[in-house]
Amino acid sequence: MKYCFLIFILAAVPVFAVQELPEDQMFPDTNAGVHDDTGMEPFVNETEVFVEMSEDALSATETEPVADSKLMPPQNVTAFDVPHDDGEAIMVVWEPPPEKTPTRYLLEISGPDGLWHEVTETVMTQYRVSQLTNRVLYRFRVSAIYPEGVARSEPTDPVAPLDHWLKLGEVPVLIAIMIFVFFLLWFIQAARRGVELFVRRISGLTAVEDAIGRATEMGKPVLYVPGLSGIEDVGTLAALNILGEVARRTVHYDVKIICPNRDPIVYTIAREIVKETYASEGRPDAYDPDSVFYLVPDQFAFAAGVDGIMVREKPATIFLLGYFWAESLIMAETGASTGAVQIAGTDSVAQLPFFITACDYTLIGEELYAASAYLSREPMLLGTLKAQDYGKLSFLLAMVILTLLAVLFGIDTVGWVEVR
Amino acid sequence: MKRKIPMTIMFILAIWGGISYFVGKTPVRNFDNLLRNRLLLIVGAFAIILGLGSLIFHHSQKIRRKARFWQYSYVMLIALVVTTFVGLFGGVRGEGRLPTIFGGTMLGAHEGKVYAFMNRDELNTFMSNPASYADPDKALMDLPREMDAPEGEQVFLSRYHAALLRQEIELQHAGYEMADEPIPPMISPVSGETVRYRADFKISLQALYEGIMVPCGSTMFAMLAFYMCSAAYRAFRMRNLHAGILLVSAFIVMLGQIPLATVFIPWLHDLRQWILDVPNLASKRGIMIGVGLGASATSFKIILGIERAWLGGGDE
């Protein structure tokens, strides 16, 4: 439970920070000037902090006439810093003209240079202007575009984007993570206490043992492709976890393993995993440094290289686990043509149909992540599988409850969970 | 220690990654970017050295052992040496020390005007940013003054472009007038008045990539269409109820894609869209929620040190 406290303390710090914020900062009064984390301050006093607009620019823009005085411009155009974000963004909102609806609106921005630049044309009455510079003052104006002409609003008060400590829009993610971590730690504790956890049979993983046994009987190697993505992809990490388990079995059965890699960092880790596994199983002499190798970084060149290995070496078993793109079917079909038993698994939804079609067994989505726990049968790892199931159950319940609240009572539940 | 150090580093960086996701302050974000982009690049650079070592070792072993099709390993090693040489001395776009051009480019004269032809990419690059062809040899020094860059715009040309310009000047002296605008290279204005024509080939990494890697990659990608056909044949065999449902759904979706079919069966397009938007999307979302939770669980398992398979087997 020591991890539990650590995670909750880390997770709770920004939550307490939210509670301490004064109300006026949560929803700033945009007409009052620029707001900072520490309170409201008029922008005219911030000459050391904010980059102000030149006097010429201010006077020039304010005195520009409306293009067509008969047409009504957009009303109440206001610009304000997007609250509790990571900066570089300003929200501009306006109301449509009272009498006639324009075909679209033209939003313009003026920065320190005083010149007006087009931001976008839109039919909406709000726009989030991003990629701005923090603490630099900007002004905005909106033109209503009619078939007869254009009516331009007065420029807004200058406003500067600011970065904030807590990204409030991510709080739903934080809450979801906390719930999930709670389940995770709960079931890990349960596993430690010796509670028996039932995990359903996953045929693709049950077949691993048989597939490697087949390679032993045939005297042919096992080909293991840990996806084409980099180490930053969790699917690649899952594939590397399974590689350890597969390598352990190849040591036991004395089968050669071939592991080509596309990413140099993944190659380095895969090589260490296989090497360490051989050492830990008491067979360091059996480790072939040529078994795990770097092939090529290009996507289709890699597919061609793996196809070549399949055709030349005729492996008895092929594992295609990790993240794949369009090359998935090229490799899976070539493998099928060689008569190998193929076990594939990916978290790329677009490639799953190809693997299901061309491979003997396919680990669908989350089964890829479950593989390491399933194969090792370590109680603590199995506990995390149960946590995944309960996490899904929570999501399902949340979706049902929020949908009912929205449908029956008209509550904006989407706004509660929306990540901004 | 062999395991504790990487696990400690990983734990600290993972917690940092989690915190930086929820904190919006610029210094935090900048440091996060530094870790994610710059440091990862440095680690990647070292890993590439290891990868290259592995590649050379792997193919050398194949040649030494006379493994099956060992001759291809020579192709790989020679290609590696040639590409490295061209990359180091020819540059990415031919800006290196190697003679970057065989021959030159096309020069044409038409109705008393001279046109310089470059390939499309080169022309676009040259016209958009002449300074990208800066050459320390200052090739313009040998040129007549009237051909210098306009006042206030100092333009340096590469050896190749200087030679090209010199040829143009020679043509001018021969009585031709320079055209103001280059004609797009794909349109030939040279109707019987071609003065010179020579092949244009650069020794550069880009030329190797575009001339060899891109066509080979396209060939592999094109093969996907044939693999799809054979996979579709296998998938659509009606072996059981599920395969039958798949066959019928796929038939409707494919038929609904064809405009002619929707002319005869107007509701087919709506049915196709319903299949894609409701049952298909629902199952995809189910998988995606599972993937999201599985990815989170895997991350937490690694962060908390429960999952250690990525460190290899064995004890501490």
Same domain assignment for residues A114 and A128: yes
Q: Which CATH number goes with the domain that contains A373?
A: 3.40.50
Question: Which chain A residues contact residue B44 at CB under 8 A?
Answer: 264-265
Which residue matches tokens 């298909």?
Answer: B280
Residue in A with minimal Cα distance to B24: A86
Same domain assignment for residues B113 and B163: yes
Q: Is-contact A259 B292, C-beta < 8 A?
A: no
Structure-token pair, residue A405: 């609240």
What is the bridge-based pairing of β-strands B113-117 and B177-178? parallel
Question: Which chain B residues contact residue A234 at CB under 8 A?
Answer: 294-295, 298-299
Domain housing A21: 2-166
Q: For residue B316, is it within any domain?
A: no
pLDDT in tens, A274-289: 999 999 899 999 999 9
Nearest CB to B26; choose among A14, A163, A395: A163
Q: Which helix (H) or strand (E) holds A122?
A: strand A116-122
Q: For residue B260, is it within any domain?
A: yes
CA distance A147 to chain B (A): 35
Does A32 have pLDDT greater than 70?
no
Q: Do B298 and A365 touch (CB under 8 A)?
A: no
Does A215 have pLDDT greater than 90?
yes
Does A309 have pLDDT greater than 90?
yes
Does A24 have pLDDT greater than 70?
no
Same domain assignment for residues B109 and B183: yes
Return all residues near B59 (Cβ < 8 A) that are at least 6 apart. B73, B76, B77
Q: Is-contact A106 A142, C-beta < 8 A?
A: yes
Q: For residue B85, is it within any domain?
A: no
Q: For residue A282, is it within any domain?
A: yes
Q: How does DSSP classify residue A51?
A: B
State the Cα–Cα distance between residues A357 and A197, nearest whole angstrom: 32
Residue in B with minimal Cα distance to A349: B284
Tell me how far apart the terminal alpha carbons of chain B are, to the nearest angstrom.
7
Distance of alpha carbon A349 from its chain centroid, rounded? 15
Question: Which chain A residues contact residue B223 at CB under 8 A?
Answer: 330
State the Cα–Cα distance between residues A52 and B281, nearest whole angstrom: 49
Domain housing B268: 236-311
CA distance A409 to chain B (A): 25
Same domain assignment for residues A12 and A103: yes
Q: Do A381 and B23 touch (CB under 8 A)?
A: no
State the Cα–Cα distance between residues B21 and A167, nearest whole angstrom: 8
Residue in A with minimal Cα distance to B55: A294
Same domain assignment for residues B258 and B197: no
pLDDT level of residue A260 (50, 70, 90 thresholds): very high
CA distance B75 to chain A (A): 13
Same domain assignment for residues B142 and B187: yes
Q: Do A244 and B19 touch (CB under 8 A)?
A: no
**What residues of chain B score a pLDDT lower than 50?**
101-159, 178-200, 316
Q: For residue B169, is it within any domain?
A: yes
Q: How confident is the model over A378-407, as a mean pLDDT?
A: 90
Does A127 have pLDDT greater than 90?
yes
Q: B residues 110-149 near A, CB within 8 Å?
A: none
* Structure confidence at residue A49 (pLDDT): 43
Look at residues B202, B221, B255 and tell me which one is the last residue of a structural domain. B202
Residue in B with minimal Cα distance to A391: B293
Which of A2, A38, A165, A294 is the best residue to mutate to test the B interface, defined by the most B CB atoms within 10 Å of its own CB? A294
Q: For residue B224, is it within any domain?
A: no
Does A60 have pLDDT greater than 50?
no
pLDDT level of residue A273 (50, 70, 90 thresholds): very high
Same domain assignment for residues B197 and B116: yes
Same domain assignment for residues B240 and B198: no
Strand partners, A121: A106
**Closest by CA position to A163, among listed A48, A82, A51:** A82
Same domain assignment for residues A262 and A404: no
Q: For residue A332, is it within any domain?
A: yes
Percent of chain A residues past pLDDT 70, beyond the cut: 83
Which residue matches tokens 């306009």?
Answer: B150
Average pLDDT, chain A: 83
Same domain assignment for residues A367 and A346: yes
Backbone angles phi, psi at A51, to 5 degrees: -85, 115
- Other C-beta atoms within 10 Å of B140: how many? 18
CA distance A117 to chain B (A): 23
Residue in B with minimal Cα distance to A364: B287
pLDDT level of residue A192 (50, 70, 90 thresholds): confident
Tell me whether B223 touches chain A (CB under 8 Å): yes
Distances (CA, A) of B164 to B106, B118, B157, B178: 9, 10, 10, 13
pLDDT level of residue A253 (50, 70, 90 thresholds): very high
Does A380 have pLDDT greater than 90?
no
Q: For residue A56, is it within any domain?
A: yes
**Closest by CA position to A356, among listed A338, A386, A336:** A336
Distances (CA, A) of A303 to A77, A326, B80, B309: 55, 10, 18, 26
Same domain assignment for residues A268 and A229: yes
* Structure confidence at residue B235 (pLDDT): 81
**Closest by CA position to B22, among listed A21, A158, A14, A213:** A14
Same domain assignment for residues A133 and A112: yes
Q: For residue A194, is it within any domain?
A: no
Q: For residue B211, is it within any domain?
A: no
Backbone angles phi, psi at A108, to 5 degrees: -125, 155
Q: How confident is the model over A283-302, as a mean pLDDT?
A: 93
- Other C-beta atoms within 10 Å of A209: how many? 13
Same domain assignment for residues A254 and A123: no
What's the total number of domains in chain A? Answer: 3
CA distance B49 to chain A (A): 8
Q: Of A68-72, A133-137, B285-289, which range is least confident?
A: A68-72
* Structure confidence at residue A275 (pLDDT): 93
Q: Tell me the residue length of chain B.
A: 316
State the Cα–Cα distance between residues B135 and A100, nearest whole angstrom: 61
Q: For residue A195, is it within any domain?
A: no
What's the total number of domains in chain B? Answer: 3
* Structure confidence at residue A99 (pLDDT): 83
Q: Do B50 and A264 touch (CB under 8 A)?
A: yes
Distances (CA, A) of A247 to A217, A258, A327: 17, 10, 25
CA distance B315 to chain A (A): 7
Does A140 have pLDDT greater than 70?
yes
pLDDT level of residue A132 (50, 70, 90 thresholds): very high
Q: For residue B210, is it within any domain?
A: no
* Structure confidence at residue B202 (pLDDT): 60
Does A78 have pLDDT greater than 50?
yes
Question: Which chain B residues contact residue A294 at CB under 8 A?
Answer: 50-52, 54-55, 58
Per the model's pLDDT, the better-predicted residue between B110 and A141 turns out to be: A141
* Structure confidence at residue B161 (pLDDT): 53
Look at residues B67, B93, B109 and tell me which one is the last residue of a structural domain. B67
Q: Do A392 and B293 touch (CB under 8 A)?
A: yes
Same domain assignment for residues A144 and A215: no
Q: Is-contact B193 B110, C-beta < 8 A?
A: yes
Does A65 have pLDDT greater than 70?
no
* Structure confidence at residue A397 (pLDDT): 93
Question: Which chain A residues contact residue B26 at CB under 8 A?
Answer: 86-87, 134, 163
Per the model's pLDDT, the better-predicted residue between B104 and A192 turns out to be: A192
Same domain assignment for residues A41 and A153: yes
What is the bridge-based pairing of β-strands B177-178 and A139-145? unpaired
Q: Of A113-122, A392-401, B303-312, which range is least confident?
A: B303-312
Q: For residue A193, is it within any domain?
A: no
Q: Of A1-5, A160-164, B215-219, which range is least confident?
A: A1-5
Q: For residue A192, is it within any domain?
A: no
Burial class from Cβ neighbours inside 10 Å (0-12, 13-18, 19+) for residue A293 reads buried
Q: Do B313 and A279 touch (CB under 8 A)?
A: yes
Same domain assignment for residues A74 and A9: yes
Q: For residue B60, is it within any domain?
A: yes
* Structure confidence at residue A197 (pLDDT): 84
**Closest by CA position to B64, among listed A154, B56, A68, A292:** B56
State the Cα–Cα distance between residues B160 and B103, nearest whole angstrom: 10
Return all residues near B136 (Cβ < 8 A) that are at least 6 apart. none
Q: Is-contact A160 A43, C-beta < 8 A?
A: yes
* Structure confidence at residue B123 (pLDDT): 45
**Closest by CA position to B4, among listed B286, B311, B313:** B311
* Structure confidence at residue B170 (pLDDT): 56
Same domain assignment for residues A246 and A315: yes
Return all residues near A247 (Cβ < 8 A) that are at least 6 apart. A257, A273, A274, A277, A278
Does A303 have pLDDT greater than 90?
yes
Does A323 have pLDDT greater than 90?
yes
* Structure confidence at residue B173 (pLDDT): 56
Same domain assignment for residues A177 and A311: no
